[in-house]
Amino acid sequence: MKHDYKKLQDDVRWEDISEGGLIYAEGNSVAVNTGDWRTNRPIWNEEKCKQCLLCFPVCPDSSIKLEGDKMSGINYYHCKGCGICANVCPFDAIDMVTEE
Ligand code: SF4
Ligand code: SF4
């Protein structure tokens, strides 16, 4: 999703911004698709995956998807392409490719 930053700037008035730019609403990060910034994309290879789940706790963006106690893919809306999951995977089940 592309953002119109000029429009965002025009729409936000200084009176609407909290002191110090603090955000008080909790749980709002899920609403922001930070995956837009990604330049590298992790590709999960389900056949190679042994479900060790080592990738799950190291992802800084909580983008390793689980179904029950099994990895089921990657949340590309929030994955920023850091490559940590691919780096820790002992079975080479995640490849990093350049984002198109
Ligand atoms: S670290 Fe690799 S093998 Fe383990 S769950 Fe993640 S992708 Fe699968
Ligand atoms: S590339 Fe980084 S942000 Fe994306 S799933 Fe892997 S560890 Fe998480």
Domain CATH number, residue 20: 3.30.70.20
pLDDT digits (tens, 9 = 90+) for 51-60: 999 999 999 9
**Locus of tokens 């190291």:** 58
CA distance linking residue 1 with residue 54, whole number of Å: 30
CA distance linking residue 43 with residue 93, whole number of Å: 8
First to last CA, the chain: 14
The bridge status of strand 64-67 relative to strand 70-74 is antiparallel
CA distance linking residue 79 with residue 82, whole number of Å: 8
Q: Give the Å distance between the CA of 51 and the centre of ligand 1.
A: 5
Residue 79 Cα distances to 9, 38, 39, angstroms = 26, 7, 10
Which ligand 1 atom sits nearest the alpha carbon of residue 45?
A: 7
What domain range includes position 66? 5-98
83 lines ligand 2 (CB under 6 A): yes
pLDDT digits (tens, 9 = 90+) for 13-26: 888 888 888 888 88
Confidence of residue 37 (pLDDT cuts 50, 70, 90): confident
Number of domains making up the chain: 1
